[in-house]
Amino acid sequence: MIELHSSPTPNGQKVMIMLEEMGVEWKHIDVNIGVGEQFEPEHLKLSPNNKIPAIVDTNGPGGGPYTMMESGAILVYLAEKSGRFMPKDARGRYDTLQWLFFQVAHIGPMFGQANHFNGQAKDNQYARDRYNNESLRLYRVLENRLSKYQWLASSEYTIADIATYPWCKGHKDRGIDSVAFPNFIRWFEAMEARPAVRRNNEMATEIRERMEKAAENRPHINIYDTRDNAERLTRATSPRNNGG
């Protein structure tokens, strides 16, 4: 059984899609980052970087529970555990790892910063231009790759596709359409046709609603508030909170 300690953000959804594709027994344990549950000591035991997602595989390598953070590493682990969504030949495997790392190192952080400055710092034109321009460039990288390959890494559907899709859901708001990005749109539609992806999208809405309801009377935090963030982040990473 796999426990997913998470929230249905793009990084959380990557793992949800993978678990649905594998068809294994799993459950979602809600970690509401809007009320600061990522900073609680129980979550830190699973995720030393205070982030979601984290998993606990109750039947990990060698038997017994195994805990992991970092969505890219979790996808590699689950691909190896299931023997699926990672090509068996060496070139296909390294291509998959390249495009998986490309998502984790570029698509996630750059789209994330663009969303942040567009939403939280509308008057910071420099930062908005920087991350919006870079995001657009990254969509072109995806388009170029997908003009040569059916799926991101190869002719096979892999964990690189699973990792990238949830981050690309906002493409319409960025003016990404089938005229300028025909191969990206073909790929995006192929992703949305997969039953596991459809189930993920339905579950993401349900989990969000459940978490909002559970947090109704609880004090919310603003993870973007730089004034109280400094103190909270220091506390969260102090040796005492980390079992030191």
> Largest Cα–Cα distance of the chain, in whole Å?
56
52 binds ligand GSH (CB under 6 A): yes
The residue (of 49 and 178) whose beta carbon lies closer to ligand GSH is: 49
Contacts of 233 (CB under 8 A, 6+ apart): 50
Residue 84 beta carbon to ligand GSH: minimum distance, rounded to whole angstroms: 20
223 binds ligand GSH (CB under 6 A): yes
**End-to-end CA, the chain:** 30
5 binds ligand GSH (CB under 6 A): no
According to CB under 6 A, which one of 3, 30, 40, 70 is a site residue for ligand GSH?
A: 70
The residue (of 50 and 181) whose beta carbon lies closer to ligand GSH is: 50
Contacts of 43 (CB under 8 A, 6+ apart): 5, 31, 37, 50, 54
Write each residue from 100 to 119 as x if it is in contact with ligand GSH (CB under 6 A), else as -, in one continuous string.
----x---------------
Cα-to-chain-centroid distance, residue 102: 13
Between the alpha carbon of residue 169 and those of residues 82, 91, 107, 111, 234, the distances in Å are 27, 29, 12, 11, 33
- With contacts defined by CB under 6 A, name the span among 46-54, 113-121, 146-154, 187-195 that binds ligand GSH: 46-54
Contacts of 189 (CB under 8 A, 6+ apart): none
Residue 76 beta carbon to ligand GSH: minimum distance, rounded to whole angstroms: 12
The residue (of 169 and 186) whose beta carbon lies closer to ligand GSH is: 169
51 binds ligand GSH (CB under 6 A): yes
Positive/negative CA dihedral, 45, 101, 76, 24? positive
- With contacts defined by CB under 6 A, name the span among 68-76, 94-102, 113-121, 182-190 that binds ligand GSH: 68-76
Positive/negative CA dihedral, 180, 134, 111, 196? positive
- Residues within the interface to ligand GSH (CB under 6 A): 9, 11, 33, 38, 50-53, 70-72, 104, 223
